[in-house]
Chains A and B, each alone.
Chain A
Amino acid sequence: AQSVTQLDSHVSVSEGTPVLLRCNYSSSYSPSLFWYVQHPNKGLQLLLKYTSAATLVKGINGFEAEFKKSETSFHLTKPSAHMSDAAEYFCVVSDLWLNKLIFGAGTRLAVHP
């Protein structure tokens, strides 16, 4: 069965500094992986997705993630945080057999001035 683990429940950074949100996955086959962002009282917005093409995936708002099969990781990064990046971030794996998404527990990103 597919699973995903977000290693940090909370991450706090200063504005202008890099962001790293960590995600490890477990999959018996080549997975499809996604990062979604959720601002307070809003739905989820797709940041980026990996589907066995390039291992470095660029998304919206300057975010990117690198698929590392050897480390079973799909960490989300951004070179310079903005105040507007403060939100909840979900790492997600697609389980084809179960026909559903498997969500990580989420990482809350706080950005300080």
Chain B
Amino acid sequence: GAVVSQHPSWVICKSGTSVKIECRSLDFQATTMFWYRQFPKQSLMLMATSNEGSKATYEQGVEKDKFLINHASLTLSTLTVTSAHPEDSSFYICSAREKGLAGFGETQYFGPGTRLLVL
């Protein structure tokens, strides 16, 4: 099946610094990528949807200036947590949907996640 990678898998940073997380579709082209946040023992919360070459669409309540998303190519999206604070500590998961599949039911493939700890 299709593979999505994330880098780094975990990161510890000081409060006030910025952290960039990369998401890559390794063997397919992804027109749409998604960024989720997951708190312990909870379901995934969609943060934003990004289409290649256009601005991301953020979910209500997600600060676009705080969580910068760039979808520069059909295989790469990045999430930058700017001026990170301890409350931003979480598990961040990206997902990608393949290009070229018409109709409905396209599968989203998920990355392994990035655990962020802000001290």
Contacts and interface: CB of A to CB of B under 8 A. Distances in A.
Interface stretch (B61-69, B71-79, B81-89, B110-118): B110-118
B105 A41 contact: no
Nearest to B57: A99
A108 B108 CA distance: 22
Contact of B43 (A34, A41, A106): A106
A108 B41 CA distance: 9
Contacts of A42: 112-113
Majority secondary structure of chain B interface residues (helix, strand, loop or mixed): strand
B95 to A, nearest CB: 8
A43 B104 contact: no
A101 B108 contact: yes
Contacts of B108: 101
Contacts of A73: none
Contact of A34 (B42, B107, B112): B107
Interface string B11-49: 000000000000000000000101000000111101001
Interface residues of B, number: 25
A52 B43 CA distance: 26
A90 interface: yes
A100 B46 contact: yes
Given A100-B34, A100-B49, A46 B43 contact: no
Given A103-B43, A106-B42, 19 more contacts: A32-B105, A34-B107, A36-B110, A43-B4, A43-B93, A43-B111, A43-B112, A43-B113, A44-B93, A46-B1, A46-B107, A49-B105, A51-B105, A101-B34, A101-B95, A101-B108, A103-B44, A105-B43, A106-B43
